[in-house]
Amino acid sequence: MLYLILNYLRDFLRPHNDLLLENLALRQQILVLQGQINRPQFRDRDSAFWAILSRFWSGWEKPLSLVKPQTVIAWHRALWRKYWRWKSRPKDYGRPNIPIEIIELIRRNSWENPNWGAPRIHGELIMLGYDVAQSTVAKYMVRRRGRPTQNWKTFIQNHLGEIGSIDFLTVPTITFQTLYVFIVLSLDRRRVVHFHVTRHPTADWTALQLTQAFPIDTAPKYFIRDRDRIYGEEVLRTIHNLDPKQANPRRT
């Protein structure tokens, strides 16, 4: 590159006619080379020269003979990618490495306590004085194959006698009106415990139906319901008061 700059300064002081004759001689030699060489090999510095020249000289395509202008554009794009790859290279700073002692402690707690999740193990490490993130704990926990010990289907099968289900059905009448049927089911044998019909369901009316469906100490521990807005605070309060053991409504 320094050699080219020195030649440019030398040519800048030469007469114009000498430059024209020298360019003519160089072009003739290039034509001879084009007839003898199938594909000339350009080095990285040659590609960089043409890529930079194309950005500062609008007539760079005129003296171009050995390669096509599209090739020079491709060189420029490749040079730009190399520059941004160098600029975005990894730095020395960043997230600190986790000590191997903490990683082994996380794996040991995860292995010895299969029912513990990342929040529980994270809390135990905080109490021991280890300042780590919960995401780090989840990353280094022991991965177990297979399904968990109890999924939703297993829970339903194990607690069928303690689960009730409530829902509303709509029935159109012959006069084009709508009746709302409130049904209470027991999931152990899918039997209908209680049902009632109304034209204008309210939260108070629904709470009254639950009270009539389950006498004292007969309500299930869990209730399955949807997200209907008819289940207001009055219904939830009634569900909790049905069983002294505090029934748990579950929305699905």
User: Does residue 164 share a domain with residue 75?
Assistant: no
Residue 207 has pLDDT above 60, yes or no: yes
Whether residues 245 and 170 fall in one domain = yes
Same domain, 165 and 231: yes
Residues 51 and 126 in one domain: no
Q: Of 194, 222, 218, whose CA–CA distance to 207 is shortest?
A: 194
- Predicted confidence (pLDDT) at residue 140 exceeds the cutoff of 80: yes
Please indicate, yes or no, if residue 148 is contained in any of the structural domains: no
- For residue 111, being part of any structural domain is answered with yes
Residues 80, 120, single domain; the answer is no
Contact 244, 215 (CB under 8 A): no
Whether 2 maps to a domain, the answer reads no
pLDDT band for position 113 (cuts 50, 70, 90): confident
pLDDT of 114 higher than 70:
yes
> Is residue 80, in this structure, part of any structural domain at all?
yes
Q: Which residues pair with 4 in a beta bridge?
A: none
What is the structure's pLDDT at 155?
74
233 assigned to some structural domain: yes
The average pLDDT across 129-139 equals 88
193 and 104 housed in the same domain: no
In a domain, 146, yes or no: no
Amino acid found at 21: L
Mean pLDDT of 232-243: 67
**Lowest mean pLDDT across 38-52, 217-231, 237-251:** 237-251
Span 154-200, pLDDT tens digits = 777 787 888 888 899 999 988 888 999 999 988 877 788 899 999 98
| CA-based torsion, 122, 125, 129, 132: positive or negative | negative
Q: Measured between alpha carbons, how far is 140 from 97 in angstroms, rounded to an integer?
A: 13
55 and 105 inside one domain? no
Q: Which two tokens stand for residue 48?
A: 């960089």
How many domains is the chain built from?
3
Residue 95 lies in a domain: no
Please give the C-alpha separations between residue 25 and each of 33, 130, 248, 250, in angstroms, as whole numbers.
Answer: 13, 77, 96, 91
Tokens of 77: 């794009």
- What percentage of the chain's residues is helix, strand, coil (to nearest 5)? 50, 15, 35
Chain centroid offset of residue 234 CA: 39
pLDDT of residue 245: 47
pLDDT at 250: 47
**Is 190 or 248 the better-scoring residue by pLDDT?**
190
CATH number at residue 179: 3.30.420.10
- My answer on whether 164 and 217 are in the same domain is yes
| Domain end marker among 140, 172, 204 | 140
Residues 122, 185 share a domain = no
**77, 164: one domain:** no
Cβ neighbours of 216 (radius 10 Å): 9
Amino acid 24: pLDDT? 62
- Domain hosting residue 129, numbered range: 100-140
- 169 shares a domain with 233: yes
Q: What is the pLDDT of residue 116?
A: 86
pLDDT tens per residue across span 14-36: 666 666 666 666 665 666 666 56
pLDDT at 196: 92
Distance CA 186, CA 204 (A): 22
Q: Based on the fold, state whether residues 163 and 222 are members of the same structural domain.
A: yes
- Residue 247: predicted pLDDT: 46
More confident position, 167 or 144: 167
**Model's pTM, two decimal places?**
0.37
* Average predicted confidence (pLDDT) for the chain: 76
Contact 118, 140 (CB under 8 A): no
C-alpha 73 chain-centroid distance: 36
* 43-88 per-position pLDDT tens digit: 667 777 767 777 777 776 666 666 667 777 787 788 778 878 887 7
Residue 94, in any domain of the structure = no
Question: For residue 62, what are its two tokens?
Answer: 């005129």
- Structure confidence at residue 112 as a pLDDT band (50, 70, 90): confident
Q: Which residue has the tokens 């108070």?
A: 204
